[in-house]
Homo-oligomer: A and B are copies of this chain.
């Protein structure tokens, strides 16, 4: 040592302000010189905290989660936490595993972005763990939620199409038992109903958020007796599938058919034409979730109502008035 007790060193380096000036700087200097850093495991054992949080997502390969991660990571860093990323691949076993990591000291808290809890039979989830759910809904769980208003967002997207003059508007849903897909579909239905528009047979196609299902649903739509002039997709990825298929079939976007997505993925604006879509403030969502988790960890109160963050409809190049309208319009003027 430098002639001082370990306790004093600990206090000095922790910045408790309980160490007098001559010693303080001397300790700091020699710590820097020796490149000394307190051992994390020992500290964790002593303090009973790991200063790490777990971000559990459905599919780590989906860029969607990246921006959320960035928000989480930024807020975590500021508070001295590291972020462990967990990937469930929609596997309940994995979910249980990650949940268990809360109990064994791996992490102090968790941000859940999967819609499920571990199987109820062997669940460790009593509802009072330091868990925050982001974007998904774990019904009746008692955890704080950070959400977007999927219903309102879908409604505004469809309204945009209606305002452009579309009447035959189709919808490609997400996987359907899920609340998120359900809400978006209900938003679509509400918008149609409020506008007095009928949803024709086959205009609701069931997708699964993946590109290929966009392609399939688009084919089904094109086989219908009455074709839609606009398609609202429950996410961007399926919208890309739809647009690709439309192009292959010689249908022009947005001249023949308008397409709206949901998510505003990385590069969705760079698409040709740029995709009209609902943008979610993903980094904000991550940051909010982390902030709530931090309050929870510090023993403060957490909101018992879901925190709703605002979405924004980005009107870009894949939506236009329907052809019938533009034709009529041109007709009148010529």
Contact = CB atoms under 8 A, between A and B. Distances in A.
Interface of A: 35, 37-42, 44-45, 48, 50, 52, 60-63, 66-67, 69-70, 73, 82-85, 87, 100-101, 103-106, 124, 211, 237, 240-241, 243-244, 247, 265-267, 270-272, 274
19 contacts: A37-B104, A40-B104, A40-B106, A41-B41, A41-B105, A44-B44, A60-B69, A61-B67, A63-B266, A70-B87, A73-B87, A82-B84, A82-B101, A83-B84, A240-B267, A240-B271, A243-B272, A271-B272, A272-B272
Nearest to A85: B85
A38 B69 CA distance: 29
A67 B48 CA distance: 34
Contacts of A69: 60, 85
Contacts of A103: 35, 37
- Tell me the dominant secondary structure on chain A's binding face: mixed
A50 B61 contact: no
Given A42-B105, A61-B70, A272-B272, 6 more contacts: A37-B100, A63-B266, A84-B84, A237-B270, A241-B270, A265-B267
Nearest to A98: B82
Number of copies: 2
Contacts of A104: 37-40
Residue with the greatest number of chain B CB neighbours at <10 A, chosen from A85, A211, A240, A270: A270
A108 B48 CA distance: 20
A85 B87 contact: no
A98 to B, nearest CB: 10
Given A66-B61, A244-B270, A45 B37 contact: no
Contacts of A100: 37
A60 B77 CA distance: 14
Contacts of A52: 84
A173 to B, nearest CB: 19
A327 to B, nearest CB: 24
A73 B55 CA distance: 14
Contact of A63 (B39, B44, B50, B63): B63
Contacts of A44: 40-41, 44-45
Nearest to A63: B63
A130 B69 CA distance: 26
